[in-house]
Amino acid sequence: MSEIYDDQTFFKAYGKLPRSLDGLKVAGEWPALKRLIPDLKGKKVLDLGCGYGWHCQYFAENGAEVIGLDASEKMIAQARQKNNHQNITYVVGSMENLDFPSEQFDFPSEQFDLVFSSLTIHYLADFPKLVQDVRRILRPSGQFLFSVEHPIYTSRKEQDFIYDANGQALFFPVDNYFKTGARQTHFLGSPVEKFHRTVEDFIEPLLENGFSLRHLVEPVPTSEVIQQFHWENELRRPMMLIISAEKKIMTPKNHDEN
């Protein structure tokens, strides 16, 4: 779990990012992510690591009843201010504890139609456990839709290009790809622990725990966003991975297979 979001210096810097100021319209991956969101009318949605609540607001505006969960009190306070649709309930808590009912939350089995997470799972040490927890709280045929930093992007703790003497990006190296686990990275000038896993590490736990894979997308920002923020280098390496998986309905046959 990442406690850095409650650190005052980091929190202040995070507040100056384009997506903190302007929300989803400047999030490079949003058009690709949005296409994978199922019909939301009358649905129950859980957003894991909801941050400022931009996605929660979108889900609620499109007819869903939403719970936004985040480990950071400061982020939840921002969400309550910025994205306060009446059908959203914000909760402070860790997605590591979905299986521990507490005063803050208790998630009985099979209650959500969509469990969503944007750019948070790379802060989590144990992905297979999360998959099991998400499977339990999803209704049959419910969807688990999440984005993470791409395994190519997380392989080195530097998470950066190699530059020449003039500051021009030469190439983006991949190293220690199969040495999975914690990486002590830097983000917005602060030390931040993230977890690197391979593509296989994302897919296999889903297939082993009764999900079928619906989509795997490597999003790139739209040309307008690339132009606006001078993000041309975003076309040189993948930064994000989006996965959509569906909880299989268990029949005696596929129950044995799982």
Cβ neighbours around 55 below 10 Å, total: 28
Contact call for residue 49 and ligand SAM (CB under 6 A): yes
Question: Dihedral of CA 139/35/82/131: which sign?
Answer: positive
Q: What binding mask, one character per residue, do residues 136-175 give for ligand SAM by CB under 6 A, x or -? A: ----------------------------------------
Question: Dihedral of CA 13/14/19/21: which sign?
Answer: negative
| Range list of H helices, the chain | 8-14, 18-22, 30-34, 54-61, 73-82, 127-137, 151-154, 199-208, 223-229, 252-257
The span from the first CA to the last CA of the chain, in angstroms, equals 29
Among 37, 45, 50, 241, interactor with ligand SAM by CB under 6 A: 50
Nearest residue to 51 (alpha-carbon basis) of 115, 109, 120, 107? 120
Contact call for residue 2 and ligand SAM (CB under 6 A): yes
The least CB distance from residue 249 to ligand SAM, in Å, is: 28
How far is Cα 107 from Cα 98, in angstroms, rounded to an integer? 7
Nearer residue to ligand SAM within complex by CB, 5 or 59: 5
The least CB distance from residue 36 to ligand SAM, in Å, is: 15
Nearest residue to 247 (alpha-carbon basis) of 137, 85, 106? 137
The least CB distance from residue 43 to ligand SAM, in Å, is: 19
The least CB distance from residue 168 to ligand SAM, in Å, is: 28
Of 115-123, 151-159, 165-173, 203-211, the window that binds ligand SAM (rule: CB under 6 A) is 115-123
Nearer residue to ligand SAM within complex by CB, 2 or 209: 2
Among 51, 151, 205, 219, interactor with ligand SAM by CB under 6 A: 51
Task: For residue 4, give the 3-state DSSP assignment.
Answer: helix
Nearer residue to ligand SAM within complex by CB, 241 or 248: 241
Nearer residue to ligand SAM within complex by CB, 69 or 248: 69
Residue at shortest CB range from ligand SAM: 51
The least CB distance from residue 250 to ligand SAM, in Å, is: 28
- 188 secondary structure, DSSP code: T
Task: For residue 241, give the 3-state DSSP assignment.
Answer: strand
- Residues near ligand SAM (CB under 6 A) are 1-2, 5, 19, 49-52, 54, 69-72, 75, 94-96, 118-120, 123-124
